Each structure stands twice: as C-alpha cells, then as structure tokens.
Amino acid sequence: MDVAGVDGCKGSWLLVRADATDRLRVTDISIIPTFRELVDATADCAAVAIDIPIGLAAHEPRAADGEARKAIGPRRNSVFPAPMRAVLAARTYEDACAFSLEAYGKKLSQQAFAILPKIREADEAMTPALQERIREVHPEVCFWALNDYRALDYAKLKADGAAERADILKPAYADAISSVNPPRGAKRDDLYDACVAAWTAGRVAYGAEQTLPAGPPLDERGLRMEIVY
C-alpha cells in the first residue's frame, strides 16, 4: 500500500513515496513543481500527509496550531499560526499584515508570509473530498508522536537535531534514511520532514491517526482545520 509524505522546499514540493505494508520502504523521492501536479502524482496513494496548512480560519487562531504548540513543548516555536483566509489575497508583507490585523487584530508572522504562496496554491486545489486523502501534518508533531509522545531535544537545523531525527526514523523504516541524499532543490531536514510525514500517512491509511484538536472544526469552505499525527 503506497503512502506519501510531502514537505515544501524552495519553489517546489519534496515528495517521499513509501510502501506502508510493514515497516515503511521508500519507493520514490522526487521534486514536484506544483501542488496540482502533486495531487496527480499521488492519485494512487492510500494517504498523503503534507506540511502545509489546510483549512483556514476567518477571525481567530486555529485550535490545531495552539494544541500542537502545547504538545511539542520545547519545539513549540516551530509551529506558527496559520494565516486567516483573508490574508491569501495579499501579495506583499505589508498587505498581509493589514489583512491579518483587520481579520483578528494581529499581524502575520514573517514565517507564515514566507510560505503564503504555497498555502495559497494548496488552498486553490483542496476540496473536502480531496482532504479525505490529503491531510495536513506538522513534522515536529509527527516526530513527537513517533518518539513515544516525547518532545525532541534539539532543533532540526542543528547537527544534533538531524542525528536525533534520523534515530527516531530508524524503527519506522526498513531503509537507512540517514544514508539517503535529498534530491537537488531539497535539504536533509526537508527529507526527514517528508519521511516522518509519510509515516503519519501510513497511520492514516490504516485508520490509526489522531488529530489536533480531537474534533476538528470546519472552515468556511468545509475543510477541516486539523493537524494529523
């Protein structure tokens, strides 16, 4: 049974496909230029887990983001609030902050603005029906769950953080992920994030996933505002 984990990388998407019949076995690692191409490339996958906000609130922060921050403790700063839906119309940071202030009284973070084109791209393609197969994850929440619900000690961009994440992935994969080189256009932390997302996709495929919050609300387009793990 094929599943996929996806992480955004510079100008594109990093896709890790894996066979989830037993321990995960990587079947393909590739760079996909657009979200719509990603949807087509994973059409035969039982589940896809992607690190991008799906389901956007109108006037208040998503419960999913707040609960994720609480869950991962020391790594909480890696979870930043998803933008309000109105912010998708912005093309400059100044406009994004203005729209965000109008929607719920706070400016948009620089981190959220940096991935706004990808959030917009995903939102344009997503539907409630597609969300049954393509689910939002946050890699640090996935690593927390894979690590027996224990917070990680190191940030992912540090050498100790990369080693920590490689060790956590070992029991989940038949492949030696630490020996796999990311494709051109992606970094090693992108690869590890996509691999742990694929592990979560396996949980989704077998109906073993959990969500933050436990009963996700719907946004105005009928998309669940959730983070899956």
List pLDDT tens digits, range 30-82.
999 999 999 999 999 999 999 999 999 999 999 999 999 999 999 999 999 99
| Ramachandran category for residue 185: left, alpha or beta (phi over 0 → left; psi -120 to 50 → alpha) | left
Does a structural domain hold residue 70? no
* Mean pLDDT along residues 80-100: 96
pLDDT of residue 92: 97
How many Å apart are CA 88 and CA 123, to the nearest integer? Answer: 9
Q: What is the pTM of this model?
A: 0.95
Q: How confident is the model at residue 11 (pLDDT cuts 50, 70, 90)?
A: confident
Q: How confident is the model at residue 198 (pLDDT cuts 50, 70, 90)?
A: very high
Does a structural domain hold residue 15? yes
Does a structural domain hold residue 42? yes
Does a structural domain hold residue 199? yes
Does a structural domain hold residue 106? no
pLDDT of residue 57: 97
Q: Please, are residues 203 and 13 in contact by the beta-carbon 8 Å criterion?
A: no
Domain span at residue 179? 2-55+130-205
Residue 118, pLDDT > 90, answer yes
Provide the domain count of the chain.
1
How many Å apart are CA 204 and CA 49, to the nearest integer? Answer: 8
pLDDT of residue 21: 87
Does a structural domain hold residue 119? no
Does a structural domain hold residue 68? no
Q: How confident is the model at residue 25 (pLDDT cuts 50, 70, 90)?
A: very high
DSSP secondary structure string for all residues of 94-146 = HHHHHHHHHHHSSPPPHHHHHTHHHHHHHHHH--TTGGGTEEEB-HHHHHHHH
Residue 85, pLDDT > 90, answer yes
Helix boundaries (H) for the chain: 35-41, 63-72, 93-104, 110-114, 116-125, 139-146, 159-169, 188-205
How many Å apart are CA 110 and CA 108, to the nearest integer? Answer: 7
Q: How confident is the model at residue 19 (pLDDT cuts 50, 70, 90)?
A: very high
